């Protein structure tokens, strides 16, 4: 494909002339071709108008036809593998194998939603039949099902150029729900975004859908994103990125004449609690698993473990020594962008400059490169200064030493909302673990035992989200089939004649769905 | 019972000394005993602290034990019928029969949630078993279920002293979810609130639950409500009332360090579209049904029909004449409070003063009394001035006359978010109706055919909510079993050993729940 550096607005293209920017190769330190042009205000307007026009027909499209559309996207993405391998590793500094894996994940997400739509019961159809003889008043016939919210604005993420960006989880779940999508491309990987956008656009055309179902807008700054969030046609926002960025969008959306939900996945420090018997019996093995997780992808995951909590006692010294050895053995690696690397180095420098931290590992980094870091503090410091538990985006961990095992629970109960929390346990730790589980369940989206938080499965039970500030609204997940629930709302039909009802709500159940009929779940 | 005029804080009582107020008999125009005392700031603080402390144990209480608690509340409410009949009609101006009906509804809501909890599948348990042999990486064992959000602040509504107030739908759904509740009583019916609060408190004690599960705070002004919404312990807010009031709470919640969801049900004008054949064949019958609905409860329902749309043609004159006859025959009736009656009369005067409205019915009202009103406008006026479609709380309707039947759709597509929309049709209208249904489904929570919007069933398929400004978040319902979904969020457990898992997620399925196991809904 030939990259044009222009927004995709329905079947058309944006015009040059606005502020422009280029991709950047963080490993080589060079700018990349072509030059990308910010969408003009009238182009944002046109994308929104097209999306608004496309919304009713797209929402009304039978689930199974939307499933075919999603399958088309998955195929178009996989067919573009050579293009992605040509541009994405250069734009992101991420290795080829990672990009291959992420492409599979991105396509897989569309396929998983296609399967959900194919089956169809996701609409949560409910039927309560009329009771004409009920006293004192008869009951009417009432039926409800979930329905698309309308156009959704999606912000591409820097750290998952495929699986959480233009053709990522937010886009897949919004399209699955029946919502047109307008993506604001992340400027760190514009060529990847353009290629993914072309794949989705090809699927729109192949399926004969209205062009407004998908648009992709480029922007050198923040004007396009802000305009999208404020536009009356937009009914919800998906975002993955920093807390400051997410909160700014939340505030903007809350201040609208008609406020809309923002699903901002803002990351967290993902605490890991190493309980005494696990620490005593396998300190090196636990340290190895955690070091691998911390180092993975230069720590640029929202689930990267950044806070390790353990009590003084047998195994503690070996645990720390192995962490120091593993993290200290790695030199600086390219991060996604020079800006991300700079913010990482600043955060590390701030931790190193504190009088209450001990620096165990701190390598040199410059330009787009960052080196792993490990600090140690006593528990009381974490309990009194929340700055120690702020996320550092990159391979950096703070080891928190407690006097007593029971102080581990105190640290846990002091934490703000997290995407994940992990317990490292042996059978002798189960009593303490069962005490901690409700504390953690109250604060996080996903609790792990004896695993590492990096690696987020795409499946029905996944919860990728957590109480604020991990995400904007902990009641929803950004990963897995549940992610679709963010973009739908129930509509109730009272005494609507059978021929006017959607197929999902007709008595004969022509789509063979699981439905709640007169309060009982049934497939009839 | 002896009414004390003091807040209920856990098992204790508030102190006098703050700003005080009394109930008011709107029919007789006299103040009522006793005097009610606003909660002091330290009492708000204590209620929040008790709720926070009670939250983990209450959330962890097995569903079936919470069901018993809800049954206790239902019984305690019904046992207090004589007390309610002694105070509620006087405080609200509502007739005894209405209060009896509403008490049954309030108790019924608790019972319906008890049934849901008894069955247990509401937790939406999902289990994805490990795939140790999967390539390239094994899949861990993942399980998720819904879990209580934490303490909820509920604002009592003026217009449903029982079913949407202290012991109303928000309280019932939040307690069902496992969230402690702090109610800010509506000052229009303090004695009713105190009595309902005592009923809930008795159930807390009878079931041996922590006292912080429920508190009830009085306030002469807005300080207590604001303090609650801003308190870090509060995780969500339920509100039923005016748009200005609801939006103020939404803005307050969005500005918190950690924003929380506000479920504000703010009412709407509930348009009714009378399609041509229905208008031609049964104009008087349709007018009769609508007039009865408009007059019901002095129009003080958020679902009261306030906008009637019909095209010029056969039946139009008879339809209007019958509306004029029915609404004109009713003199002023007591409304809930003098303030509500005053705002009603102001809104009616504003409509009457417009040059583009024709006044067909406008009675006299004074003090706490209001008389029905009916205005007529041409469609173009509604399309150019949104003030004509603002809700008027009380028995007031605006009849919109269109030139052509197809203009009815234009009016519909021009409306902002609504709780309900109603189509009056005969078979010959089905083509137009099927064109309008998606337009309405995009804008409202509930679409009715040949019914009246007043009368909101409590059942699984009910959607009482709609796109903003009908409610704060159209993705949720305030009535029916779905209301519980507002106050829960999913938590995922990864590789958590069986003995540490909640019963809902154990392989043996000891609670016999419907669960999604490896993507398939099953009861095994």
- With beta carbons less than 8 A apart as the criterion, state whether B397 and B305 touch: yes
Q: At CA A280, angle to CA A279 and CA A284, rounded to 5? A: 60
- Taking CA atoms, B306 is separated from A209, A224, B255, B398, B425, in Å, by 38, 39, 33, 6, 19
The reply to whether A277 falls in a domain is yes
> What CA–CA distance (Å, rounded) separates A330 from A327?
6
The reply to whether A127 falls in a domain is yes
Residues of A in contact with B492 (CB under 8 A): 445-447, 461-463
Virtual CA dihedral for B234, B238, B243, B245, nearest 10 degrees?
-40
CA end-to-end distance (rounded Å), chain A: 49
Give the CATH number of the domain where residue A248 resides.
Answer: 3.40.605.10
- With beta carbons less than 8 A apart as the criterion, state whether A351 and A400 touch: no
> What CA–CA distance (Å, rounded) separates B167 from B186?
12
Tally of CB atoms within 10 A around A193: 30
Q: What is the pLDDT of residue A1?
A: 86
A442 to B469: CB separation less than 8 angstroms, yes or no: no
The burial of B402, by beta-carbon neighbours within 10 Å (0-12 exposed, 13-18 middle, 19 or more buried), is given as buried
Residues of A in contact with B142 (CB under 8 A): 457, 459, 461-462
A492 to B463: CB separation less than 8 angstroms, yes or no: yes
> What CA–CA distance (Å, rounded) separates A165 from A190?
10
A320 shares a domain with A231: no
Closest A-chain CA to B417: A258
The reply to whether A519 falls in a domain is no
Nearest to B143 among A255, A461, A496 (CB): A461
Task: Select from A301, A175, A188 the least CA-distant residue to A236.
Answer: A175
B519: pLDDT strictly greater than 90: yes
Tally of CB atoms within 10 A around B257: 9
pLDDT band at residue B18 under the 50/70/90 scheme: confident
Q: Which pairing describes strands B307-311 and B515-517: parallel, antiparallel, or unpaired?
A: unpaired
Whether the CB of B437 is below 8 Å from some CB of chain A: the reply is yes
A448 to B495: CB separation less than 8 angstroms, yes or no: yes
> What CA–CA distance (Å, rounded) separates A309 from A442?
18
A211 shares a domain with A76: yes
Nearest to A140 among B451, B491, B521 (CB): B451
Which residues have a Cβ under 8 Å from the Cβ of B87 and sit 6 or more positions away? B3, B23, B32, B189, B191, B192, B195
Q: Which pairing describes strands B369-370 and B373-378: parallel, antiparallel, or unpaired?
A: unpaired
Closest B-chain CA to A481: B519
- Taking CA atoms, B103 is separated from A382, B81, B96, B110, in Å, by 51, 8, 11, 11
Residues linked to residue A370 through DSSP beta bridges, in sequence order: A333
- With beta carbons less than 8 A apart as the criterion, state whether A167 and A77 touch: yes
Closest A-chain CA to B258: A468
Give the number of domains in chain B.
2
A202 shares a domain with A93: yes
DSSP-derived 3-state class of residue A75: helix
The burial of B265, by beta-carbon neighbours within 10 Å (0-12 exposed, 13-18 middle, 19 or more buried), is given as buried
Token pair in block for residue B326:
């029915």
Token pair in block for residue B287:
């007018």
A410: containing domain: 271-449
Query: How far apart are the CA of A258 and the nearest CA of chain B, in angstroms?
Result: 6
* pLDDT tens by residue, A122-166: 999 999 999 999 988 899 999 999 999 999 999 999 999 999 999
Nearest to A441 among B433, B451, B491 (CB): B491
* pLDDT tens by residue, B439-492: 999 999 999 999 999 999 999 999 999 999 999 999 999 999 999 999 999 999
Of A48, A179, A302, A396, which residue is the catalytic one? A302
Query: How far apart are the CA of A43 and the nearest CA of chain B, in angstroms?
Result: 24
Q: What is the ipTM of this complex?
A: 0.96
Residues of B in contact with A390 (CB under 8 A): none
A204 shares a domain with A290: no
Q: Which pairing describes strands B12-13 and B8-9: parallel, antiparallel, or unpaired?
A: antiparallel
- With beta carbons less than 8 A apart as the criterion, state whether A205 and A11 touch: yes
> What CA–CA distance (Å, rounded) separates A425 from A15?
58
> What CA–CA distance (Å, rounded) separates B435 from B406?
10
Biggest alpha carbon–alpha carbon distance for chain A: 80
Residues of B designated catalytic: 265, 302
Nearest to B489 among A251, A460, A475 (CB): A475
Q: What is the pLDDT of residue A267?
A: 84
B340 shares a domain with B422: yes
* pLDDT tens by residue, A70-98: 999 999 999 999 999 999 999 999 999 99
pLDDT band at residue B281 under the 50/70/90 scheme: very high
Strands (E) across B149-247 are located at 152-155, 181-184, 214-217, 236-240
B307 shares a domain with B376: yes
A149 to B519: CB separation less than 8 angstroms, yes or no: no
- In order, the DSSP letters of B440-498 are HHTTEEEEEESS-S-----STT-----TTTTBS-TTS-SSSGGGGGGGEEEEEEES--G
Closest B-chain CA to A416: B258
Query: How far apart are the CA of B144 and the nearest CA of chain A, in angstroms?
Result: 5
Best probe of the A interface among B141, B177, B461, by most A CBs < 10 A, is: B461
* pLDDT tens by residue, B193-243: 999 999 999 999 999 999 999 999 999 999 999 999 999 999 999 999 999
The reply to whether A460 falls in a domain is no
A342 shares a domain with A379: yes
Residues of B in contact with A446 (CB under 8 A): 491-494
* pLDDT tens by residue, A250-283: 999 999 999 999 999 998 999 999 999 999 999 9
B309 shares a domain with B201: no
Task: Select from B248, B268, B67, B265 the least CA-distant residue to B163.
Answer: B265
Tell me which DSSP letter residue A187 carries. T
Higher pLDDT, B75 or B366: B75
Tell me which DSSP letter residue A388 carries. G
Which residues have a Cβ under 8 Å from the Cβ of A459 and sit 6 or more positions away? A112, A480, A481, B128, B139, B142, B519
Tally of CB atoms within 10 A around B29: 12
Report how many Cβ contacts below 8 Å link chain A to chain B: 210
* pLDDT tens by residue, B238-258: 999 999 999 999 999 999 999
Q: At CA B351, angle to CA B347 and CA B357, rounded to 5? A: 165
Residues linked to residue B361 through DSSP beta bridges, in sequence order: B374
The reply to whether B262 falls in a domain is no
> What CA–CA distance (Å, rounded) separates A322 from A18?
52
A490 to B482: CB separation less than 8 angstroms, yes or no: yes
Query: How far apart are the CA of B24 and the nearest CA of chain A, in angstroms?
Result: 30
User: What are phi and psi for residue A243, nearest 5 degrees?
Assistant: -65, -40
A362: pLDDT strictly greater than 90: yes
B437 to A500: CB separation less than 8 angstroms, yes or no: yes
* pLDDT tens by residue, B399-410: 999 999 999 999
The reply to whether A304 falls in a domain is yes
A261 to B461: CB separation less than 8 angstroms, yes or no: no
* pLDDT tens by residue, A30-71: 999 999 999 999 999 999 999 999 999 999 999 999 999 999
Residues of chain B numbered 88-127 and touching chain A (CB < 8 Å): 101, 115, 121, 126-127
B143 shares a domain with B53: yes
Which residues have a Cβ under 8 Å from the Cβ of A353 and sit 6 or more positions away? none
Give the CATH number of the domain where residue B299 resides.
Answer: 3.40.309.10
B1: pLDDT strictly greater than 90: no
Residues of chain A numbered 245-304 and touching chain B (CB < 8 Å): 250-251, 254-255, 258-259, 261
Whether the CB of A503 is below 8 Å from some CB of chain B: the reply is no
Tally of CB atoms within 10 A around B27: 17
A236 shares a domain with A321: no
A356 shares a domain with A245: no
- Taking CA atoms, B411 is separated from A183, B357, B416, in Å, by 32, 16, 11
Best probe of the B interface among A429, A492, A496, by most B CBs < 10 A, is: A492
- CB burial string B44-76: b at 16+ within 10 A, e below: bebbbbbbbbbbbebbebebeebbbbbbbbbbb
Nearest to A477 among B258, B468, B490 (CB): B490
DSSP-derived 3-state class of residue A345: helix
Length of chain A, please?
524
- CB burial string A416-452: b at 16+ within 10 A, e below: bbbbbbbbbbbeebbebbeebbbbbbbbbbbbbbbbb
A149 to B475: CB separation less than 8 angstroms, yes or no: yes
Taking residues B262-278, what's their average pLDDT?
A: 96
Nearest to A446 among B261, B469, B492 (CB): B492
B468 to A258: CB separation less than 8 angstroms, yes or no: yes
- CB burial string B459-477: b at 16+ within 10 A, e below: bbbbbbbbbbbbbbbbbbb
- With beta carbons less than 8 A apart as the criterion, state whether B338 and B302 touch: no
The reply to whether B260 falls in a domain is no
Which residues have a Cβ under 8 Å from the Cβ of A465 and sit 6 or more positions away? A263, A265, A419, A445, A471, A473, A474, A475, A476, A477, A478
Task: Select from A203, A175, A60, A265 the least CA-distant residue to A487.
Answer: A175
Query: How far apart are the CA of A149 and the nearest CA of chain B, in angstroms?
Result: 8
Residues of B in contact with A262 (CB under 8 A): none
Taking residues A467-480, what's their average pLDDT?
A: 96
Token pair in block for residue B387:
């003030």
Token pair in block for residue B385:
């001035």
User: What are phi and psi for residue A257, nearest 5 degrees?
Assistant: -55, -45
For residue A512, the number of C-alpha atoms closer than 13 Å in the C-beta half-sphere is 3
Taking residues B26-45, what's their average pLDDT?
A: 97
B145 shares a domain with B22: yes
The reply to whether A82 falls in a domain is yes
Q: What is the pLDDT of residue B282?
A: 98
Tell me which DSSP letter residue A131 carries. B
Q: What is the pLDDT of residue B136?
A: 85
Which residues have a Cβ under 8 Å from the Cβ of A56 and sit 6 or more positions away? B438, B439, B442
For chain A, how big is the Rg over CA atoms in Å? Answer: 25
Task: Select from B77, B124, B119 the least CA-distant residue to B102.
Answer: B77
> What CA–CA distance (Å, rounded) separates B66 from B181?
14
B455 to A495: CB separation less than 8 angstroms, yes or no: no
Closest B-chain CA to A485: B475
> Does A265 participate in catalysis according to the annotation?
yes
A437 to B500: CB separation less than 8 angstroms, yes or no: yes
CA end-to-end distance (rounded Å), chain B: 49
B447 to A475: CB separation less than 8 angstroms, yes or no: no
* pLDDT tens by residue, A155-201: 999 999 999 999 999 999 999 999 999 999 999 999 999 999 999 99
Residues of A in contact with B60 (CB under 8 A): 438
A490 to B463: CB separation less than 8 angstroms, yes or no: yes
Whether the CB of A473 is below 8 Å from some CB of chain B: the reply is yes
Strands (E) across A357-395 are located at 358-362, 369-370, 373-378
Residues of A in contact with B258 (CB under 8 A): 416-417, 467-469
């Amino acid at each position: 494909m030939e990259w044009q550096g222009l927004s995709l607005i329905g079947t058309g293209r944006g015009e040059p002339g606005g502020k422009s920017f280029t991709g950047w190769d963080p490993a080589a330190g060079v700018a990349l071709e072509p030059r990308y042009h910010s969408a003009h205000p009238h182009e944002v307007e046109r994308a929104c108008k097209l999306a608004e026009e496309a919304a009713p027909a797209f929402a009304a499209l039978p689930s199974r036809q939307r499933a075919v559309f999603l399958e088309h996207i998955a195929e178009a993405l996989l067919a573009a593998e050579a293009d992605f391998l040509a541009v994405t590793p250069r734009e992101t500094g991420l290795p080829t194998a990672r990009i291959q894996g992420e492409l599979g994940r991105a396509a897989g997400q569309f396929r998983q939603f296609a399967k959900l739509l194919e089956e169809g019961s996701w609409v949560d159809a409910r039927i309560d039949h009329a009771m004409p003889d009920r006293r004192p008043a008869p009951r009417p016939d009432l039926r409800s099902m979930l329905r698309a919210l309308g156009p959704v604005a999606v912000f591409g993420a820097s750290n998952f150029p495929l699986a959480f960006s233009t053709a990522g989880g937010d886009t897949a779940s919004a399209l699955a729900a029946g919502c047109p999508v307008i993506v604001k491309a992340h400027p760190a990987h514009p060529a990847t975004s353009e290629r993914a956008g072309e794949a989705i656009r090809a699927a729109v055309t192949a399926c004969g859908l209205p062009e407004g179902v998908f648009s992709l807008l480029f922007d050198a700054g923040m004007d396009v994103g802000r305009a999208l969030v404020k536009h009356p046609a937009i009914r919800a926002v998906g975002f993955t990125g920093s807390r400051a960025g997410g909160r700014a969008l939340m505030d903007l959306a809350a201040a609208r004449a008609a406020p809309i939900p923002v699903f901002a996945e803002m990351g967290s420090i993902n605490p890991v609690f190493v309980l005494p018997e696990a620490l005593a019996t396998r300190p090196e093995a636990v340290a190895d698993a955690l070091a691998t997780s911390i180092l993975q992808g230069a720590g640029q995951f929202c689930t990267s473990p950044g806070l390790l909590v353990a009590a003084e006692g047998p195994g503690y010294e070996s645990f720390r020594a192995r962490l120091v050895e593993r993290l200290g053995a790695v030199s600086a690696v390219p991060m996604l962008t020079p800006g991300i690397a700079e913010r990482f180095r600043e955060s590390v420098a701030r931790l190193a400059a504190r009088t209450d931290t001990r620096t165990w590992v701190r390598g040199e980094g410059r330009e787009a490169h960052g080196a792993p870091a490990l600090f140690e503090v006593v528990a009381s410091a974490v309990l009194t200064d929340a700055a120690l538990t702020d996320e550092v985006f990159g391979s950096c961990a703070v080891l928190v030493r407690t006097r007593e095992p029971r102080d581990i629970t105190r640290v846990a109960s002091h934490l703000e909302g997290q995407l994940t929390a992990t317990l490292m346990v042996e059978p002798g730790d189960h009593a303490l673990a069962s005490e901690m589980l409700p504390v953690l369940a109250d604060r996080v989206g996903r609790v792990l035992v004896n695993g590492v938080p990096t690696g987020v499965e795409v499946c029905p039970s996944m919860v990728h989200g957590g109480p604020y500030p991990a995400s904007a609204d902990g009641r929803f997940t950004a990963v897995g089939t549940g992610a679709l629930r963010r973009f739908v709302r129930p509509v109730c039909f009272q005494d609507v004649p059978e021929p006017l009802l959607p197929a999902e709500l007709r008595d004969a159940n022509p789509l063979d769905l699981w439905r709640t009929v007169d309060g009982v779940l049934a497939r009839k």
